[in-house]
Structures are given as C-alpha cells and as structure tokens.
Amino acid sequence: MYLLIFWLVNLNTSPPYLLGGRVWDTEMHNINQIEFVITNYGPLGRPCYWPKGSGHSYIFGSGIWFGAIDSIIGDTLVTIGYGPHGGEAEFAPGLYQQDPSAPYVIIYMYPNPWPAPVESFPMAPQQVFSDQDSWCCYNDCDSIYHIPGDTRPIGIEVYQTVYAWDLPRITDIVFITLEVKNVLPKSLRDLYIGYCSDCDLSIINDICTAIIGKWYVIDDESLWVDNLAYQFENEGAYGVIGMDFLQTPFDLEFGQDKDQDEIPDQYERDSSYYVNNLPPSKWDVDNDGVYDWRDASENPQLGMTAFKRFTLSLEPNKDNERYLTLAGYNFKTGQYEPYDTIIPQSDDQRFLMASGPFQLMPDSSVILVFAILFANWHNIYQTPDTAIVLVDKWAQMFYNLDWNLAIKENSQLSVPSLNFTVNPQLIHITADICFNLKKSDVVALKVYNLCGQQVKTVFAGNMSAGQHRLRFDTIDLPSGIYFLVLKTSKERQAKKLIIVK
C-alpha cells in the first residue's frame, strides 16, 4: 500500500518495485513511540512518524549508500537504497540469484512471521533480542534495477536487522544493523558506506548539522557525543530527529594502537592474543558479557568520516558525484570538505553521513549500526542538540552493552505468579524490588554476576503472604551486568540488571 502511494506522490519516478504482479515488501515498526516503515529493497523510514499516532512526519525517505571504485577500469560505483532527488532504489529483495518475487523473500518481523527459514537464509537470526525484531535482505547484483546509463552493480548483499524496544529510556529510539557482504570473487577496495536521509520535518524550514565529537555537561553529567547527525526546525511544535553511527568499519592498522589500550591493532580481534598475553580481567573491560575480541564497541572504528549536506537544487545525482560525497568532497568543486557542520539557513535540506575508506575481500562483510532518535526541545531546552544528546546517551549505552539491557530473562526461570519486578532495570544507586507471595514462605533474594558467582544477598528469611517491596542498594557493587534471583520453597525467577555508576 505504501509503495503505491509513494509512487503516485513521486510522479517523476518509475516504480521498479513491481515484478510479476507482486509488490515488494514493507512493514512498520510501531512497538514504541516511533512509527517507522522499512522495506526489503533499500528505503528506510518512508514514512516515519513521532510520537506514535501524532501524524507528525519526520522522514520523507532514507537509505544506505555504498560506494566503490572498480578495480579493473577505475570507474566509480555507488549503489543507493534511497535517492532523495526522485526516491530511487537500486537494490532488489533477497540474496544474489534469488527470485525477488519468491513468496519467502519478505520481511520477517517478530512475532509473525519469525524467524526466516534457515534453508533459504542461513545468515538470518533465529533468536529475538528486542520487543519487535525484523530481518530482511537485499542485493545490488542485477543491473536491471540500477538507474539506467549511470551505474552498475558492485556485487553486494545487505542483511538488515531492526530492533525496537518499548522500555523506559529507549521508547524514542529504533536501532538498525546493516551487514554488507561482498558476494563476488574479487576484492572490493576504496569502499565507503553511508546513510542518506531527507528528513522533511517541514517543507522549507529544515536545518541539519552534525556532532563530530564534543563534550556536553548537562545537569552536572558529562557526556561525550560523536558520530551524530541531527535535523530540526525553528517553527511549530516539531522536535528534533537524530541519527547516530554506533558501529562503523574498524580502523585497524598493523603496528599501531589507535585506541591506546596497549593492545596492538592487529591483535584487537585475535582471541589467542588475549588468552596468551592478557589476564582474564582484561578480556571484557566493559563487563557486558562479550569478550572484547568479539565486541565491536571495544575496537577502534573509522567513525563518521563525512557529513555532507545538500538541497533539492544542489545534490549529487550521478555515481561519480555520489562517490565524491561519500568520501567527503564537495562534488562541485572537488575540494575535500568532510564536515558541513556550520548551521545553515533553513531550507529543504537532506544529508549524507558516511564512513570509510575500507576494503572487503571475497565472502567478507562489514557492519554499520545506527540509531534513529527523537526528542522534544521547544520550550524545554535552548538548543535542539541538548535534547537529542540526552536520548543518544541511552542508545550508545544499549549498543555498548551488546543489547544486554533489554534481553528477556530465561523463560524457564520465570514464574508469573510471583509478579516479580525490579524498577529500574538500569540502576544507578538503588532500585525497588516487588513481588507477591500467595502464602507465607521462605524467601531468598540473591545477586549473581555473569560468571554465576553470588556477590550479594538482598534478603534471606521468612516472609508473610501478600505484596512485598524491598529496596536494593548497589553501593557495594561495581558497574556491570548481574542477575537478581528470587527463590521460594517452590518457585524461582530471575531478572537481569545493569548497574551503571
């Protein structure tokens, strides 16, 4: 339904989305305060509304850009998931050589349909992380779907996963992971990956800029913010939308130590180096349960290497212009100007945030993770960046802790009759523990770390029937992930906690 509407609005765009009488797939993430439409051929957030039910549109269209230089003839190639000039998309649903109209080439969204069949998509996730996971894939390998006369396939597949939680602190955030794989038997070099967005908070009053790296002090809290683009407008009741690159290609170079963690770059992803040269206490420095050699947040990354802003009347519409933009150049003058961060006059603005260069060997992949963020700022803060960085703080924390803030507890341990709750689950100093006993019983409340070791007893003894509330003090526990286990004579239930100090 959405595709047909978009095409009628965009009369200059022919609809490449019909094949064999079947419309390619769209779904909407709407579990929290964001209504965010996704597709299985490239465009994202077309449309996107916030808060849910308000009808306030924040994105007209957006999507991935991926650029390369042909290693044989030196031609610049860029495949786009969304072109703001005419809504173009150069990807087709499914994997390389799959029929894009096949009935199984769809978006898989929890709870139904979920998961994707492993016989057709062996790389598809089978476990659920958020309240509303989705997964799909698309590729750029068929020239029929590319803009005529301008571009050719690069030879990539994209595996797209979207997470959305309806939890305090992140109800205004959607997380997107794009894994791009080189499926052809040749190396891809001088690559750039980017996200292009035409936010359109209003028709002509949009203002967009970016935070490359900056300290904020808000309510006596110091926040380091980087790789964040945001767009706002100065009139009306609209808020601010942000896009934060949480993970980009790695920035690893032999013989260097770019993050100054005393681990040479060439060993950052090498498990044997950690085991043979470092004590176990340094295998997981952020205590998120993921060893650092597997933890992207603990490895040097390229980050956002370009933020380029353009308008409808001045935007890159050809592959060579798009590649220059991805690489941080002014495509009109050829000057290297990577960051268009000076706040401009309001206009119908759109932007590209990019990362690179990097390389991909055959059958290898690169991952881009970013968050879409929303906040109100009119009559609350003097500037929109103050509002959006406070939301971004939680997006960054969720990513850094490998989504563990919201992974559901082991269902085998859950006993609904206890009505066991902990508020908040992200604890700074104290939390309230509530549970209900149908009859008097012996109760034990104990805290365990990720290694299964008991680190604290909150309560142990007899309790009467009824509703109980206890205060959990974390003053003697360091930051990290823990499990709080409630045990009675017949029942046992566990809650995952994060302590952040």
Per-residue buried b or exposed e for 151-162, using 16+ beta carbons within 10 Å of the residue's own CB:
bebbbbbbbbbb
> Is residue 288 one of the residues assigned to a domain?
no
**pLDDT at position 335:** 97
Nearest residue to 234 (alpha-carbon basis) of 140, 135, 138, 347: 347
Task: Identify the bridge partners of residue 175 per DSSP, sorted by sequence position.
Answer: 163, 371
**pLDDT at position 436:** 92
Do 59 and 45 touch, CB atoms closer than 8 A?
yes
> Is residue 287 one of the residues assigned to a domain?
no
Do 418 and 303 touch, CB atoms closer than 8 A?
no
Rounded CA-CA distance 231/201 in Å is 8
89 and 211 belong to one structural domain? yes
In this predicted model, what pLDDT tens digit does every residue of 196-251 receive, in sequence order? 999 988 666 788 999 999 999 998 889 999 999 999 987 766 799 999 999 999 99
Distance of CA 197 to the CA centre of its chain: 15
142 and 223 belong to one structural domain? yes
Instruction: Between 340 and 4, name the one with better pLDDT.
Output: 340
Rounded CA-CA distance 38/44 in Å is 5
Do 121 and 137 touch, CB atoms closer than 8 A?
yes
Residue ending a domain, among 400, 427, 460, is: 400
What's the mean pLDDT in 490-500?
A: 81
Residue 260 corresponds to which tokens in the numbers above? 């100054």
> Is residue 99 one of the residues assigned to a domain?
yes
Question: How many residues can be counted in the chain?
Answer: 501
Look up tokens 């770059």; give the residue: 265
390 and 416 belong to one structural domain? no
Q: Is the confidence at residue 14, as pLDDT, over 70?
A: no
Spatial CB neighbours of 244, under 8 Å, sequence gap ≥ 6: 227, 228, 229, 370, 371, 373, 392, 395, 396
> Is residue 8 one of the residues assigned to a domain?
yes
**pLDDT at position 297:** 86
**pLDDT at position 404:** 58
238 and 161 belong to one structural domain? yes
Task: Assign 105 to helix, strand or coil.
Answer: coil
| Amino acid found at 7 | W
458 and 395 belong to one structural domain? no
366 and 470 belong to one structural domain? no
**pLDDT at position 20:** 35
Instruction: Identify the weakest region by mean pLDDT among 145-149, 407-411, 485-489.
Output: 407-411
Asked if the peptide bond before residue 384 counts as cis, ω within 30 degrees of 0, the response is: no
Percent of the chain with pLDDT over 90: 60
Rounded CA-CA distance 128/126 in Å is 7
Distance of CA 418 to the CA centre of its chain: 35
**pLDDT at position 234:** 78
**pLDDT at position 120:** 95
Distance of CA 334 to the CA centre of its chain: 32
In this predicted model, what pLDDT tens digit does every residue of 86-118 receive, in sequence order? 889 999 999 999 999 999 999 999 999 999 999
Number of structural domains found in the chain: 2
Residue 175 corresponds to which tokens in the numbers above? 């997380």
pTM over 0.75: yes
Do 268 and 258 touch, CB atoms closer than 8 A?
no
**pLDDT at position 236:** 63
Rounded CA-CA distance 235/242 in Å is 18
**pLDDT at position 3:** 36
390 and 440 belong to one structural domain? no
The mean pLDDT value of the chain amounts to 87
Spatial CB neighbours of 233, under 8 Å, sequence gap ≥ 6: 201, 202, 205, 206, 207, 346
Look up tokens 């809650």; give the residue: 495
Look up tokens 């786009």; give the residue: 80
386 and 465 belong to one structural domain? no
CB atoms within 10 A of CB 329: 19
173 and 34 belong to one structural domain? yes
Residue 104 corresponds to which tokens in the numbers above? 């199984």
Do 317 and 85 touch, CB atoms closer than 8 A?
yes
Residue ending a domain, among 354, 371, 400, is: 400
> Is residue 199 one of the residues assigned to a domain?
yes
In this predicted model, what pLDDT tens digit does every residue of 444-470 receive, in sequence order? 898 887 656 778 999 988 999 999 999
**pLDDT at position 279:** 87
Q: Where are the beta strands (DSSP E) in 88-239?
A: 92-93, 108-109, 134-139, 156-163, 173-182, 188-198, 207-218, 221-232
Q: Is the confidence at residue 483, as pLDDT, over 70?
A: yes
153 and 27 belong to one structural domain? yes
In this predicted model, what pLDDT tens digit does every residue of 26-70 receive, in sequence order? 999 999 999 999 999 999 998 999 999 999 999 999 999 999 998
Instruction: Between 351 and 426, name the one with better pLDDT.
Output: 351
> Is residue 292 one of the residues assigned to a domain?
no
354 and 415 belong to one structural domain? no
**pLDDT at position 5:** 33
CATH number for the domain including 422? 2.60.40.2550
CATH number for the domain including 39? 2.70.98
Nearest residue to 437 (alpha-carbon basis) of 412, 461, 408: 461
Q: Is the confidence at residue 419, as pLDDT, over 80?
A: yes
> Is residue 276 one of the residues assigned to a domain?
no
Q: Is the confidence at residue 411, as pLDDT, over 60?
A: no
> Is residue 261 one of the residues assigned to a domain?
no
Look up tokens 């590649």; give the residue: 323
Per-residue buried b or exposed e for 461-485, using 16+ beta carbons within 10 Å of the residue's own CB:
eebeeeeeebebebeebeebbbbbb
169 and 240 belong to one structural domain? yes
Q: Which of 267-276, 322-331, 476-485 has the highest mean pLDDT?
A: 322-331
Residue 95 corresponds to which tokens in the numbers above? 């994997």
Rounded CA-CA distance 45/23 in Å is 18
Q: Is the confidence at residue 363, as pLDDT, over 80?
A: yes
Rounded CA-CA distance 368/281 in Å is 29
**pLDDT at position 414:** 39
Rounded CA-CA distance 409/425 in Å is 12
Do 97 and 108 touch, CB atoms closer than 8 A?
no
Q: Is the confidence at residue 418, as pLDDT, over 90?
A: no
Domain span at residue 91 reads 2-249+301-400
Residue ending a domain, among 375, 400, 425, is: 400
Residue 212 corresponds to which tokens in the numbers above? 């490359």
**pLDDT at position 267:** 94
In this predicted model, what pLDDT tens digit does every residue of 247-294 receive, in sequence order? 999 999 999 999 899 999 999 999 889 989 988 878 888 776 678 888
